[in-house]
Amino acid sequence: MILVDTSVIIDFLRQKDKTKTWLYTLAQSSQMLSVSIITHTELYASKSIWEKPKALPEMRTIFSGLNLIPLTEAMSVKAGKYATIQDLHLIDAIIAATATVGKHRLATLNQKHFQKIPHLKLLTPSH
């Protein structure tokens, strides 16, 4: 299973030709795609979602094709550890913990945010 990071969805939203995005490519694979509830919240916290008429239906369409993973106690503990020990921003720590606890590969365009996390399998567009 692949956990999709916020950066991959933001890239998709910004591109005019969606077929050239990494999210589109991932969606065409046979892999199940998931997203953390934190990514869901991050994207719905964007002003443009609430100010642009087309943005909200587009966001709902994107999330309809993704498995939404809730935050668990194990993820919360691990995220706290990553935030403290690896000096990660809390949101990135929660996403990393969601991936490691669930044994998902993390698809991200921000590899440098996550490269310090032990046992985290990162996917980048070149892989």
Q: 6-62: per-residue pLDDT in tens?
A: 999 999 999 999 999 999 999 999 899 999 999 999 999 999 889 988 889 999 999
Q: Please give the pLDDT value at position 52.
A: 87
**Count of residues making up the chain:** 127
Fold of 2-123: Rossmann fold (3.40.50)
Q: What angle do CA 14, 56, 72 make, to 5 degrees?
A: 90
E strands present in 16-94 = 33-36, 67-69
pLDDT tens for each residue of 98-118: 999 999 999 999 999 899 998
Q: How confident is the model at residue 78 (pLDDT cuts 50, 70, 90)?
A: very high
Phi-psi region of 53 (alpha: psi -120 to 50; beta: other; left: phi over 0): alpha
Domains of the chain, by residue range, sit at: 2-123
Q: How confident is the model at residue 66 (pLDDT cuts 50, 70, 90)?
A: very high
Is the predicted pLDDT of residue 127 greater than 80, yes or no? no
- Which residue in 73, 4, 62, 60 sits closest to 32, CA to CA? 4
What span, in angstroms and rounded, lies between the C-alpha atoms of 1 and 49? 27
If you ran DSSP here, which 8-state letter would residue 19 be given? G
Q: Which residue has the tokens 């309809």?
A: 64
Q: Please give the pLDDT value at position 48.
A: 86
Give the chain's radius of gyration (CA, Å): 14
Q: Please give the pLDDT value at position 79.
A: 97
Q: How confident is the model at residue 89 (pLDDT cuts 50, 70, 90)?
A: very high
